[in-house]
Each structure stands twice: as C-alpha cells, then as structure tokens.
Chain A
Amino acid sequence: MTPLIEADELSFRFGETPALRGASLAVQAGEILAVMGPSGSGKSTLLHCLAGILVPDDGTVHFAGRRIDSLPDAERSALRRGRFGFVFQFGQLVPELSAEENVALPLLLGGMSRRDAIDRARRWFGRLGLDGLERRRSGELSGGQSQRVALARGLVTEPEVLFADEPTGALDSLTGEQVMELLTASAREHGTTVVLVTHEPRVAAYADREVIVRDGRVTTLSPAAAASAS
C-alpha cells in the first residue's frame, strides 16, 4: 500500500549543526506513529520536515503521492492549514481569544463564516470533556484543559494528518494520559493519521508503531524492542 507520508534520505542542518542525516520514514494512512528519541536527536526537525514547516537540505517528502518539499511556501502553508492539524507542547492558544474562538480559528482562516465556525468548534467541547469552558480564555484554563482545547483546534478541520510535538510535555502524567486517550480515540474515530513526537515511552505506547530517531537517522524498532521500550 502506498504510504500517506513518505520521507526519503532527509538531511537538515542548523548552521553547522546537523539535525537530520539521511532520515527516511513512511507513514500509512490512519496510522498512529510515535517518533521517539533523546533530546537533540532531531525528532522535532523530522516532524517539521514531514509537515512542510522546514524544507530539508537534501532528500524528499511526499504527501499523498505528491512531493511537498519543493512546493513554494504559500502552498506548503495552505497544505498545513487545510490538510494537517497540529498540537504542540504549550503556548499555542491565542491568549485574547476564548476557547471556542481558538478552536474555530482554523475554520475562520479557511473562510468559514463565524457562526458556522463557532457552531462546529462547540461540537468538540463535549467530545473532549470541555463542556462549559467555551467562553474561557487560555489564562483561565488549566494545563490539561488548554491542551484539550489545542487538540480540538488541531482536529476541528478534520485533517488527514495530525502532527503532535510533545503534546503532554507540560502536563502531569494523569492529565497527559487523558489527553493521549482523547487524541488517539478522536484520531481513530475520524481515521486521522497521527505523527506523534515524544520522548516518553508511556505516551508512545498509545501509538500503533514507534520509530527511534538517533543522531539524525530513523531506526524502526523491532516488536520485541518496542515491547521492552514500552
């Protein structure tokens, strides 16, 4: 089966420092993939290259059979806006907007009317256990609530791929597990492909498959090693 995302021999340098050195990876549609690795191994850089945020120095990235690393910035932005969703570790909500407006933001950016965007955003509040928090601002939400709002924002456009970079990194373990359960459940319900960057085995355990990034290269874990890592 043709992978939804396919990266081949990616190299990327931050100045003199190499971040990726020939990283290759394939992600199937509907798959939840955990990208693990120690700090500074290049896993976030790999996610950024896969999502079209960064353009690799060498190598190619294909999404749905289309090469995206050579697309102009505007087209890659449109791709991220329309077909991808994102969840980051913290600080992704616009502080002045209410929770529902934050969730509706990608829809508004896509040209949806405000009323429709808010209506559609509200549907996610019940699903993610956020009922009653629609009008709150990010400063009035707990870390777990903020992260669930961010998850709703990442999923509200029903993206084909959700990129999550350390989505539980700023949360305690219990809240982190709640967020991961919601993330994976929602993704499976909508058939969304998830690329999850984490350094926590407990978070990676929610994925269908795990890969390790070490020194800028991707290593696929054997099932035994994966079980051991879990």
Chain B
Amino acid sequence: MIRFGLRLTLRGGREAAARLIVICAAVAIGVALLLSTLAGLNAMHTQNARFGWLETGAQGVSESHRPVPGSDPEWWLLSADEYAGTQIGRVDVAATGARSPIPPGLPRLPSAGEYYASPALAALLRTLPNAELAARYPGHLVATIGDAGLPSPDSLIVVVGRSVADLSAQPRATEITEISTTSPSGCNGPCYDIGFNARSIDLILSVVSAAILFPVLIFIGAATRLSAARRDQRFAAMRLVGATPRQIALIAAVESTLAAFIGVLLGFGLFAAFQPLIARVPFTGTRFFAHDMALSMPDVLAVALGVPIAAAVAARFALRRVIVSPLGVSRRVTPQPPSAWRVLPVVAGIAELAYFVAQGRPATTDGQIMAFLPGILITMSGLVFAGPWLTMIGSRALAVRARRPAALIAARRLSDNPQAGFRAISGLVLSLFVASVAFGIILSFDAHRGGSTSYSPAEQATIVDDLIVFADRGPTAPVRALPAGLAGTLHAIAGVRAVTPLHAGPEFGVMPATTGPPPVGAADPFSVLVECADLVGATALGSCAPGAATAAVADPSFAQLQGPSGAVWQAAPESPGSVAALPLATLVVTTDGTRHAVEQVRTLLAQRMPSRDGFAPLTIAEDRAQSADTKRSQGYERLADVVILTSLPIAGCTLAVSVVAGLNDRRRPFGLLRLSGTPLTVLRRVVALEAAVPLLVSAVVSIAVGFLTAYLFLRAQMSETLVPPGIGYYATVVAGLVASLAIIASTMPLLDRTTATETTRTD
C-alpha cells in the first residue's frame, strides 16, 4: 500500500504533479524560514560567545585571575573607544613572558609599538587621516584580527601592544592569567556591558519562539493541507473500488509525508542558498558571519524528521474529521464552534500584569522579568487561542448584517470553520501584538525621557571628557591641570570653538549626609566652577552673567544637557586664579559638529590625556545614545523589528497558502456559480472578505490588547503612562495590512483561472 501511495503521488497525472509541486514549494519555504530562525538563534549564541574574550578581567568570569600552571601573567586593559558614533573595543596588552595567553584571532601577542585591528577597523585606519583615528593607537598595524576574535564582520576592535612597565602603571590595568571563554550570558557576577546577558537571551528566546516559530509551524501546517478537497475525491474513488478506511489513511499519510520530505530537502537547499544573505541582516544590531548561521545536528534532525512526521500525523488527524465513503467524502464531523472561554488566557495574562500595577513591581530585575515576561507571553498566546472565537463573533455579526451575497458567503464560511479562517491570519495578529507592545513601551519610554532618536547640533558638537573617576566613596585621583599646550593644540584644530576646563570645588561630589531633598541654599554637589572667559562659545553650557569672572555651572557629565543652554550663571565668589588652581572635573570641547573636528579632538585627547574611566570622550549625543536606557530601548526596538520583519513575511505566506487552499477546495461550486452568471467580482469579494474580516477584527483586538499590555508594563515597571504612538507605528501597521491585502489580491488570478467557464465541468 505504501508503494501504491508513492506511485499515486508521483505518477498521478498532471494535477497530482501540480499539487505535489505546490505543496513541496510551500513546505520548502516554511522549512527554509524555520531553519533561518533556528540558525539565527544559533548565530546569536555564537556571536555572543565570541564576545567572551572581551570579558577577560571582569569579576563575573571564572577565568582571568586563577593561577594557570605553565602560563605567564599578562597585563590587560579594556577600554571603549569611539569613532563617528560607533564603539571601538580597545584592549591594551603586555606580556610578561613567552607563555602569556593570546586572545582568539591573533597569531601572537602584539609587542610594544604594534597593534592588531579588526578588518573593519583596519579599513577605516587605511582611509582616514591619522589625526582622526590611527594616532590614538601607539605603533603600527601588524595584521588584522581573525574571525575567531570577532563577534561580527563589522566589529571594530583593536589590540594594542604595550610594555609591562607602561601598562602596569595604568590605574585600571589588571594582571590576568587566562583569556575568558565565558559568554556574556554565562557571567556569574559583575561583567562588562558587552553582548547579551542571560536575561536578554531568555527574553529573546521566549519572544522569538512564540512570535516566529509558531507562525512558521502554522505556515507549514497550512501548506501540507493544500488541495485537501481534491484529494478527498480521489480517496472516495478508491473506496468505491474496495479500499478500506485504514488503507486510505495510509495513502494520505504517504502522500503528505512524501510531499513534506521533498519540501524539507528543498527547504534545506533554499536555506543554504540564502544563508549568506540572511546573515547580512543586522538582527542583533550588527550582521553575522555567514558561517555563524549554522545548524546543530539536533536542529537538522528535528526539522528533517519532525516536519514529515508532523505532516503524516496531520494527514491522519485531518481524515478523522471526514468520512470517506465510496459515494464521496462528507464532512460529518463539523468542528465544534469555539466558545467564549477561549478569551480566558488573554484575561489571565492581562490580570497578571494588572496585579503588579496594584502590588508594585518586584524589587530585583530577575523578579521583574519573571513577573512581566510570563504575563506578556500568556497574553500573546491567549490572543492566538481567542482568535477563532473572535473570528466567529465577527463573522456572525457580518452574516446578520450581510446584504450582498459576497458578504453572506464569506460570513457563513468563516462561522462554519472559524479556526481555519483565523489560522490564515494568526501570524499577522502576533506581529501586530508584538509591534503594539514594543512601540507602545519604546515610544512612551523615549517620550518620558525627552526623546532619544534625535539630537540637537549642540549635543553633536560638544565633547565631554570626564576627568574624575568616582569610586564608592567619592572622586579619586584628581587631575591638577591640563597638559601643557593641550588647550592651544585643541584650539588649533579646524572647527574647535571653545575649550572649557571645569574645575571641582571642595564640595564637588560630596553627597549630603542626610537623606531626602537637600536643604534650601545647600551647595549642588555636581556643580563645577568655570572661568567665564572659557565659557565663551560653549553653547551647551550656557553663559556667565554680565561682569562675572567665574561661575558655578552644572557639570555636563551629570546634567541632562539637550541643546544650546540659555542658562545664565551668576558670578561665583572665587577669583579666576583660584578657580584655575582647583583640580579638573571635566573638560568640555565645543566644535562645529563636523566629524573631522570631533574625531581629531578625540584622537588628540586619547594621546595627551588617556582615558581614566575606560571610556573615550564622547559628544553629549553619543553619550546619550550609549546610555543603558537608550541601549535597552534600542534592544527592544531591534527585537521588535526582528519579530515584525520575520513574522510578517511568514504570516503573508500563510495567508496566501490558506487563500489558495480555500479556492482549490471550492473550485467546483465557485466555478458553477460563475458559469451560472455570477460576476467574477462577487467571487473576488468573497475571497477578500474571508481573509479581511478576521484580519481586521483580530487586528483591532490585538492592537488594543498590545497597547493595554504596554500600558500595564509601563505603569508597573516605570510608573509611567502610555504615550500614543507616532507615525512610525501607524506606518508599520498600515504597511502590514496593505501587504496582507496585496497578498490576497495576488491570489485573484488563480480564482479567475480555477473558475473560468471554459474549464469548469458541469457533468
């Protein structure tokens, strides 16, 4: 019987061949998407693991400081450099012996006067003037860092060789014995803010699994059900000549499994063909190496075996709902209409989030994630669960009000099997929910912080170099004065408008002993003293009152400066001489905002005043862009983008396959209707309404639930309210809906063909 089933599938004539090709193609696309998702998750882990060596020296990794027999210690200093808004990872190293550990991607440790750079950084070094970048790194470039030491082909990393005497004198340098291999997600304690930590990985896995894998599996399921009705007719004919129901089930399973198996093979081929292209999409903010988009053996086995097995089980399950008799197939088992209790999971998810609004958020970050993530995931899954019920409600309402035949037929079909109607658009519903939650949270968050996406010219032109490093008990290691001639050299750079040293008074950084608001008249612990002559041209800082020689101003390292400051600072009692004698807190260099000016200033400062806190001097705009809040906001935004960009095409494919399957199933009644004079436009309207009604009903609900979820999250987590989304959100939603309608429209030629009067048989 299996051989017979195979023969029927492969040599069953043109129609069987066409059906096989369509199912195989659809399964292939689904499998390729599934493999891309799995490979993308693997690539994220691999990329994260390659950040591991940059955690060397962090307290949270077990390596670095333990004694390693046969290894010579090594001096190590990690800092964050910057070029044109992009961070450069800089590691200064000094070997104490021949057996000092070597970071991955390097053939040996650079000697003093040498450095290795990543290919992307090496390309910048080749093309930019030395004064803008290369002069920051002492010595010369010896070679590029290999892939093993690079998280991404675009990574900007430099490993600078120093002498032991030189590097060991640096305040933050540490002596290490081993290069860390601990991924940022495996950190067990304080680590540098690099890559993804374990919480981010959990968040990404949960959201991706629910919002991408689920639609992919729905799509594959829809693909294997294509042409079910036409197949049923063949089964009836077999029953007529004596085939038993068991034999029919076996043949159906063989047919589905074979199509799925061929589709899986093609899907692997598709994935291999597009793997380099998919790797270029910056899902994590930077692109992957093509070889990182790899599949593990369990992935391969799960897909290669799982999809055909699932197809066989689905075929068997599908036949349980029909009775194949010798006189035809009748769907005696009408699906039970979905009941209202299907909305319970959504309500439960929202109630869980609301509980934390009332009770307050948990104290720890882990506790907060444990509190909010399940609520959001339950709400998201609940939407999919409630979808068929919503579809049924919508279709019943449409049926009652339907005045035109197209609306009546569409409504009746949807209420007949709302599960199938919703299945076609479930992926889109998930995309809309994720987009609404993400946009709701991100945009509200940004709005409450004053916006994060645009920066004023003053913010982009003002470079702030922190010269005081705060330890637990206040500022340490004061800088007494600028190096001789530095101010003049800075002024000589084209585009530099002001060089403003800010001095720390005796009370700087000393927090009041009492808690609560500071008493009236108390000194601001973060105000600094400035000579008014230096403030001229420093637009972001403000200006002195007329006649003032010195003033106390807000330190830009702590104040939120967002544009040209209109502040007029009153005169301070200190004389210019006494202010100049105070230690430096911050150096502010105001430029014209051009890249040349900013990078030359940064390069000069790196040469003359090496970073004391491990961070290169940044413009106010760069500093804001790199703040933890902004990075978290960008992370959420990127995750939302990944989900939306990935799930929308999958959802579109599911919609197309479902519409095509619906057309194939009703080829005869639709063909005969058209033959009897029903205008094609009526049939087109039926097809469009069948997809559009559940899409619009569920879209409204998922957007509303998405915003409610975002609101509850904002209230509970940040005590903030939801800010209505802007044009970007609406553009995404409208684009998604228009794309869906375009997909439906793209199936219309098939409707024209399958119902053509020339091809419809009446006997």
- A73 CB → nearest B CB, Å: 8
Contact between B413 and A109, CB atoms less than 8 A apart: no
Query: Given the complex, which residues of A lie within 8 Å of B669, measured CB to CB?
Result: 91-95
Contact between A86 and B405, CB atoms less than 8 A apart: no
Query: Given the complex, which residues of A lie within 8 Å of B675, measured CB to CB?
Result: 53, 80, 86
State in angstroms the CA–CA spacing of A114 and B673 once bound together. Answer: 18
Tell me whether B697 is interfacial, beta carbon within 8 Å: no
State in angstroms the CA–CA spacing of A80 and B680 once bound together. Answer: 13
Contact between A54 and B758, CB atoms less than 8 A apart: yes
- A71 CB → nearest B CB, Å: 13
Query: Given the complex, which residues of A lie within 8 Å of B416, measured CB to CB?
Result: 95-96, 137
Contact between B409 and A97, CB atoms less than 8 A apart: yes
- B235 CB → nearest A CB, Å: 16
Contact between A92 and B405, CB atoms less than 8 A apart: no
State in angstroms the CA–CA spacing of A79 and B334 once bound together. Answer: 37
Contact between B672 and A86, CB atoms less than 8 A apart: yes
Tell me whether B65 is interfacial, beta carbon within 8 Å: no
Tell me whether B127 is interfacial, beta carbon within 8 Å: no
Chain B contributes a number of interface residues (CB within 8 A of A) equal to 30
Q: A96-B416, A97-B412, A114-B408 are in contact. Are A109 and B678 (CB under 8 A)?
A: yes
Tell me whether B330 is interfacial, beta carbon within 8 Å: yes
Tell me whether A125 is interfacial, beta carbon within 8 Å: no
* Of A93, A101, A165, the contact of B762 (CB 8 Å cutoff): A165
Query: Given the complex, which residues of A lie within 8 Å of B402, measured CB to CB?
Result: 114
Contact between A165 and B763, CB atoms less than 8 A apart: yes
- B691 CB → nearest A CB, Å: 15
Contact between A77 and B412, CB atoms less than 8 A apart: no
State in angstroms the CA–CA spacing of A95 and B763 once bound together. Answer: 18
Contact between B409 and A78, CB atoms less than 8 A apart: no
Interface residues as binary, A185-201 with B (CB distance below 8 Å gives 1, 0 otherwise): 00000000000010000
Contact between A101 and B672, CB atoms less than 8 A apart: no
Query: Given the complex, which residues of A lie within 8 Å of B331, measured CB to CB?
Result: 139
Residue of A nearest to B672 (CB): A92
Tell me whether B473 is interfacial, beta carbon within 8 Å: no
- B60 CB → nearest A CB, Å: 61
State in angstroms the CA–CA spacing of A98 and B403 once bound together. Answer: 16
Contact between B757 and A54, CB atoms less than 8 A apart: yes
Tell me whether A82 is interfacial, beta carbon within 8 Å: yes
Interface residues as binary, A19-51 with B (CB distance below 8 Å gives 1, 0 otherwise): 000000000000000000000000010011000
Interface residues as binary, A75-118 with B (CB distance below 8 Å gives 1, 0 otherwise): 00111111011101101111111100100011011000110000
Interface residues as binary, B525-549 with A (CB distance below 8 Å gives 1, 0 otherwise): 0000000000000000000000000
Query: Given the complex, which residues of B lie within 8 Å of A77, measured CB to CB?
Result: 674, 677-679
Contact between B672 and A88, CB atoms less than 8 A apart: yes
State in angstroms the CA–CA spacing of A105 and B416 once bound together. Answer: 18
Tell me whether B347 is interfacial, beta carbon within 8 Å: no
**Which label, helix, strand, loop or mixed, suits the secondary structure of the A interface?**
mixed
Tell me whether A169 is interfacial, beta carbon within 8 Å: yes
Query: Given the complex, which residues of A lie within 8 Å of B682, measured CB to CB?
Result: 109
State in angstroms the CA–CA spacing of A88 and B4 once bound together. Answer: 34
Tell me whether B404 is interfacial, beta carbon within 8 Å: yes
Contact between A169 and B678, CB atoms less than 8 A apart: no
Tell me whether B336 is interfacial, beta carbon within 8 Å: no
Q: Which residues, 154 to 208 on A, are CB-close (under 8 Å) to B?
A: 165-166, 169, 197
Tell me whether B676 is interfacial, beta carbon within 8 Å: yes
- A60 CB → nearest B CB, Å: 19
Query: Given the complex, which residues of B lie within 8 Å of A166, measured CB to CB?
Result: 762-763
State in angstroms the CA–CA spacing of A216 and B761 once bound together. Answer: 18
Tell me whether B668 is interfacial, beta carbon within 8 Å: yes
- A135 CB → nearest B CB, Å: 12
Residues of A in contact with B, size category: 35 or more
Contact between A81 and B677, CB atoms less than 8 A apart: yes
Q: A105-B405, A139-B332 are in contact. Are A88 and B666 (CB under 8 A)?
A: no
Interface residues as binary, B727-763 with A (CB distance below 8 Å gives 1, 0 otherwise): 0000000000000000000000000000001100111
Contact between B409 and A94, CB atoms less than 8 A apart: yes
Contact between A44 and B672, CB atoms less than 8 A apart: no
Query: Given the complex, which residues of B lie within 8 Å of A89, measured CB to CB?
Result: 762-763
Query: Given the complex, which residues of B lie within 8 Å of A105, measured CB to CB?
Result: 405, 673
Contact between B678 and A81, CB atoms less than 8 A apart: yes
Contact between B677 and A78, CB atoms less than 8 A apart: yes
* Of A91, A96, A101, A139, the contact of B330 (CB 8 Å cutoff): A139
Query: Given the complex, which residues of A lie within 8 Å of B757, measured CB to CB?
Result: 48, 53-54
* Of B409, B413, B666, B676, the contact of A80 (CB 8 Å cutoff): B676
Query: Given the complex, which residues of B lie within 8 Å of A108, measured CB to CB?
Result: 404-405, 408
Q: Which of B666, B677, B682 has the most CB of A within 10 A?
A: B677
Q: Which of A79, A88, A113, A197 has the most CB of B within 10 A?
A: A88
State in angstroms the CA–CA spacing of A81 and B757 once bound together. Answer: 14
Query: Given the complex, which residues of B lie within 8 Å of A169, measured CB to CB?
Result: 763
State in angstroms the CA–CA spacing of A165 and B763 once bound together. Answer: 6
State in angstroms the CA–CA spacing of A79 and B676 once bound together. Answer: 9
State in angstroms the CA–CA spacing of A47 and B409 once bound together. Answer: 28
Contact between B679 and A44, CB atoms less than 8 A apart: no
State in angstroms the CA–CA spacing of A95 and B666 once bound together. Answer: 9
- A176 CB → nearest B CB, Å: 14
State in angstroms the CA–CA spacing of A48 and B676 once bound together. Answer: 10
Query: Given the complex, which residues of A lie within 8 Å of B761, measured CB to CB?
Result: 44
Query: Given the complex, which residues of A lie within 8 Å of B666, measured CB to CB?
Result: 94-95
- A161 CB → nearest B CB, Å: 12
Q: A89-B763, A94-B669 are in contact. Are A101 and B412 (CB under 8 A)?
A: yes
State in angstroms the CA–CA spacing of A158 and B160 once bound together. Answer: 94
Interface residues as binary, B328-371 with A (CB distance below 8 Å gives 1, 0 otherwise): 00111010000000000000000000000000000000000000
Interface residues as binary, B668-694 with A (CB distance below 8 Å gives 1, 0 otherwise): 110011111111001000000000000
Q: Which of A85, A86, A166 has the most CB of B within 10 A?
A: A86
Q: Which residues, 389 to 414 on B, are CB-close (under 8 Å) to A?
A: 402-405, 408-409, 412-413
Query: Given the complex, which residues of A lie within 8 Å of B676, measured CB to CB?
Result: 80-81, 84-86, 92, 106
Query: Given the complex, which residues of A lie within 8 Å of B404, measured CB to CB?
Result: 108
* Of A53, A88, A93, the contact of B763 (CB 8 Å cutoff): A88
Contact between A79 and B677, CB atoms less than 8 A apart: yes
- B117 CB → nearest A CB, Å: 67
Residue of A nearest to B330 (CB): A139
State in angstroms the CA–CA spacing of A165 and B416 once bound together. Answer: 30
- B580 CB → nearest A CB, Å: 88
Query: Given the complex, which residues of A lie within 8 Å of B332, measured CB to CB?
Result: 139
Residue of A nearest to B334 (CB): A139
- B230 CB → nearest A CB, Å: 12
State in angstroms the CA–CA spacing of A166 and B668 once bound together. Answer: 16
Query: Given the complex, which residues of B lie within 8 Å of A82, measured CB to CB?
Result: 677
Query: Given the complex, which residues of A lie within 8 Å of B677, measured CB to CB?
Result: 77-82, 84, 106, 109
State in angstroms the CA–CA spacing of A91 and B678 once bound together. Answer: 16
Q: Which residues, 637 to 681 on B, are CB-close (under 8 Å) to A?
A: 666, 668-669, 672-679
Query: Given the complex, which residues of B lie within 8 Å of A139, measured CB to CB?
Result: 330-332, 334
- A197 CB → nearest B CB, Å: 8
State in angstroms the CA–CA spacing of A165 and B678 once bound together. Answer: 18
Contact between B762 and A44, CB atoms less than 8 A apart: yes
Residue of B nearest to A92 (CB): B672
Q: Which of B332, B404, B757 has the most CB of A within 10 A?
A: B757
Query: Given the complex, which residues of A lie within 8 Å of B668, measured CB to CB?
Result: 91-92
State in angstroms the CA–CA spacing of A79 and B677 once bound together. Answer: 7
State in angstroms the CA–CA spacing of A84 and B675 once bound together. Answer: 11
A101-B408, A137-B416, A139-B332 are known; give 20 further A-B pairs, CB within 8 A. A47-B762, A48-B757, A54-B757, A77-B674, A77-B678, A77-B679, A80-B675, A81-B677, A81-B679, A84-B677, A94-B666, A95-B669, A96-B412, A96-B416, A97-B408, A105-B405, A109-B682, A114-B402, A165-B762, A165-B763
7 closest Cβ contacts across the A-B interface? A81-B677, A80-B677, A96-B413, A96-B412, A108-B405, A91-B668, A165-B762
Instruction: Jot down 8 A-B pairs with beta carbons below 8 A, ordered by A.
Output: A54-B758, A79-B677, A86-B676, A89-B763, A94-B409, A96-B409, A108-B404, A166-B762
Give chain B's interface residues, CB within 8 Å of chain A.
330-332, 334, 402-405, 408-409, 412-413, 416, 666, 668-669, 672-679, 682, 757-758, 761-763
